[in-house]
Amino acid sequence: MWRNWRIKKNSKLLEKARFQILSFLIVWYNCDMANTTNKVNCDSSYASNSSNKDGLFFTHGGYRNLQSYQMSTLVYDLTVKFCDAFVDRRSRTTDQMVQAARSGRQNIAEGSQAAGTSKKTEIKLTSVARASLEELLIDYEDFLRQRGLIMWAKESQEAKTVRNLAYTQNRSYMTYETYLKNSELAANVLICLIHQTNYLLDRQLKKLSEEFLDQGGFTERLYNQRKNLRDKN
């Protein structure tokens, strides 16, 4: 009985070792093919994920080129300035708003980086980013309402002017700095920016979902690669 148990245990260890070696060979093969036939730029935008459809890993990273990440960076930087200027630094609200803005930005980056081996994780983290920015949006709306300040209508000239700044070349924090003169103006600008970021994230989530249904996940790719290798042998 003891001998049978040892044989069974050794068989499992041997199978695990074979799986690890096979996984390494698949990765080596994909990297070699990428270097010799079709180099993939990992700093490219999200849309390039489909170019690696036949490989093991999904194209990942490159989040700095995502418009949603760039917009969320603006929201984060401007939120920090807004809280420093118009919210009590010792209040819990300051911490919550800054953390919500940071969460929106960081989860986009983390999700993009995790996409190589888990599309589900990328979708989940991108969804967390979207939820964090929705929380931040409500905070700015509460700020205006509780102080009796005016919130711009979606089609107001002020809102349209701010939205059109998205087409400015080399846009940065400095592009919006002049809007931080008073709390009402600043809060409305942040609301516009968050709406734009959320729109981009909604589109990104839709595309991620479609690609997941079309391409499957990492586990499916690994299984198919192993099956193909076995069939060839």
Q: Tell me: the pLDDT tens digits for 125-137?
A: 999 999 999 999 9
Question: Is residue 223 assigned to a domain?
Answer: no
Distance from chain centroid for Cα 131: 12
Question: Is residue 209 assigned to a domain?
Answer: yes
Higher-confidence residue of 69 and 4: namely: 69
SS3 147: coil
**Does pLDDT of 22 surpass 80?**
no
Question: Is residue 185 assigned to a domain?
Answer: yes
pLDDT the model gives residue 84: 96
- Pick from 30-39, 142-151, 210-219 the range whose average pLDDT is largest: 142-151
Question: CATH number, domain at 207?
Answer: 1.20.1440.60
Question: Is residue 165 assigned to a domain?
Answer: yes
Residue 55: CA count within 13 A, CB half-sphere? 23
Question: Is residue 168 assigned to a domain?
Answer: yes
pLDDT the model gives residue 143: 98
Count other C-beta atoms under 10 Å from residue 197's C-beta. Answer: 27
Residue 163: CA count within 13 A, CB half-sphere? 15
Question: Is residue 91 assigned to a domain?
Answer: yes
pLDDT the model gives residue 217: 54
Instruction: Tell me the Ramachandran region of residue 87: left when phi exceeds 0, alpha when psi lies from -120 to 50, beta otherwise.
Output: beta
> Are the CB atoms for 69 and 105 separated by under 8 Å?
yes
Both tokens of 16, joined, read 């695990």
- At 44, the pLDDT band (50, 70, 90 cuts) reads very low
Query: Domain of 132?
Result: 63-218
pLDDT the model gives residue 120: 83
In the chain, the number of structural domains is: 1
Both tokens of 220, joined, read 């499916």
Backbone angles phi, psi at 30, to 5 degrees: -65, -40
**Residue with the two structure tokens 């980013």:** 129
SS3 211: helix
Question: Is residue 5 assigned to a domain?
Answer: no
Both tokens of 223, joined, read 């299984």
Question: Is residue 101 assigned to a domain?
Answer: yes
144-178 per-position pLDDT tens digit: 999 999 999 999 999 999 999 998 888 888 999 89
